A and B are shown apart, each in its own frame.
Chain A
């Protein structure tokens, strides 16, 4: 019964967790912008979300989220590499970071909306 109440939020909840993961990846890239030899990493978000929300993902619960997102990880190809073979492109990382921030907030708002809808539905008609 509880499942049916929260099923609608599952998708946005997964999206939110994955956005947090990507935010962390981008933070690592920005932190290592001056580290020699560091290879910049990014997540194929669509692929990761599909893997996380597919029916098969639910059955294999002992696999952590991070293990599941591992497959969607890719090193981003840089337009130019520096002489210390660091592939962090700061402009692109900052753009991705801003983009991910906005999309994280969007997921959060969708989730808040579903929660509010559910709470409103639970309210007694006399209370309002």
Chain B
């Protein structure tokens, strides 16, 4: 039954989008983290999406989504001159994480919109299937 695979397709997308939301949450939580004793501040993370053939893989049109990896943003973190800070380096600079809160907010809105879209697709497919089940009854 071809309509049933919609749940696999949209389900994979919903799961991928929620992983993206997780990454955004980690980034936002660490937006003001300063470098620890190892000198490395938190680096913003991004999930990488890839399309994948859902289920049996025989049908070229069943294309779901999967997260193939997490990328760390390698741009240098923000450096603030604050000699009184206990984690300041020899020059009196404190390194903060390289999270850009505006970018993360945009990412969050985009992820939540995509999440909602896929939920709606599943809801529509469900109601169509239920109506199909009642074929010939009324």
Contact = CB atoms under 8 A, between A and B. Distances in A.
The number of chain B residues touching the other chain, given as a range, is 35 or more
Given A32-B63, A66-B61, A104-B128, A27 B51 contact: no
A20 B131 contact: no
Contacts, number: 92
A35 interface: yes
Contact of A97 (B110, B124, B131): B124
A115 interface: yes
B25 to A, nearest CB: 17
Contacts of A90: 117
Nearest to B134: A112
Contacts of B117: 30, 33, 90, 94
Interface in B102-138: 110-111, 114, 117-118, 121, 124-125, 128, 131-132, 135-136, 138
Give the one of A27, A90, A112 with max B CB within 10 A. Answer: A27
Interface of B: 2-3, 5-6, 9-10, 12-13, 17, 20, 48-51, 59-65, 110-111, 114, 117-118, 121, 124-125, 128, 131-132, 135-136, 138
